[in-house]
Amino acid sequence: MNSMYNFVYRKCLCLSTRYFLINNRTYKSNLSYDKLFPNCKSLDILSGPIKSPTSESTGNAKFNGFIPIDKLEITHRHARGPGGQHVNKTLSGVEIRFHVDSATWIPDWIKSRFRDMNQTRVNRDGYFIIFSDETRHRLLNQGQCLDRIRALIREASLVPKGLSDEERKGIEERKKTSSNERVIRKRIQSLNKQERRSSSVDLS
């Protein structure tokens, strides 16, 4: 039957690709994806709109969590610790570097604080270096490095809230009252000491 395009059954059941790419022959049951998810924006797993950030945060905005992997330099190194031949041969340690000043994906107001807080990790040339070899898998170590970078950026972005006007006024008032009370106490104590002394007034 030549109308059925070239259906050949071989050991690994590979149908001719053109057969099942013909779109009007796709099978749709009651549980097909367009019936299960009618309000879905795109039924394709690979392409479609995504809510989470896919591009860098710009300028003075908040850090949105996106790190462009192209702009980081990732190298695989030897890990430290016990493990014999396996640890000596496999490169499961991961080092990530990037130049802090030219990193456009960190907002500017965080960058200076970030550099100050992580002086020990920043190179003389201005490169931020981080290294991880805690797990046996390279992917997990890479994930840990990135996680640490995100945590450090968040730490740098937390600016402490200043005092409000009411709080400042309250502090000043309290200071004044406490100093006044201290002065009164001192005067009383000095009176006590004066009365103990012999007076030079003649009481005859």
For residue 42, give the amino acid letter.
S
- Cβ 159 vs Cβ 112: under 8 Å: no
Burial 95-117 (b: 16+ CB within 10 A, else e): bbebebeebebbbebbbeebbee
Cα 68 from Cα 55, distance rounded (Å): 8
CB closer to other proteins out of 21 and 163: 21
Q: To 10 degrees, the CA torsion angle through 100, 106, 107, 109?
A: -40
Binding to other proteins by CB under 8 A, coded x per residue (else -) over 124-163, reads: -------------xxxx-xx-xxx----------------
Q: CB within 8 A of 68, min separation 6: which ones?
A: 56, 105
CB closer to other proteins out of 36 and 61: 36
Using rule CB under 8 A, residue 69 touches other proteins: yes
| Binding span for other proteins by CB under 8 A among 18-26, 80-88, 124-132, 157-165 | 18-26
CB closer to other proteins out of 73 and 116: 73
Helix then strand then coil, % of the chain, to nearest 5: 40, 10, 50
Binding to other proteins by CB under 8 A, coded x per residue (else -) over 79-118, reads: -----------x-x---x----------------------
Residue ranges that bind other proteins, judged by CB under 8 A: 1, 4, 7, 9, 11-15, 17, 19-21, 26-33, 36-37, 40-52, 54, 65-67, 69-70, 72, 74, 90, 92, 96, 137-140, 142-143, 145-147
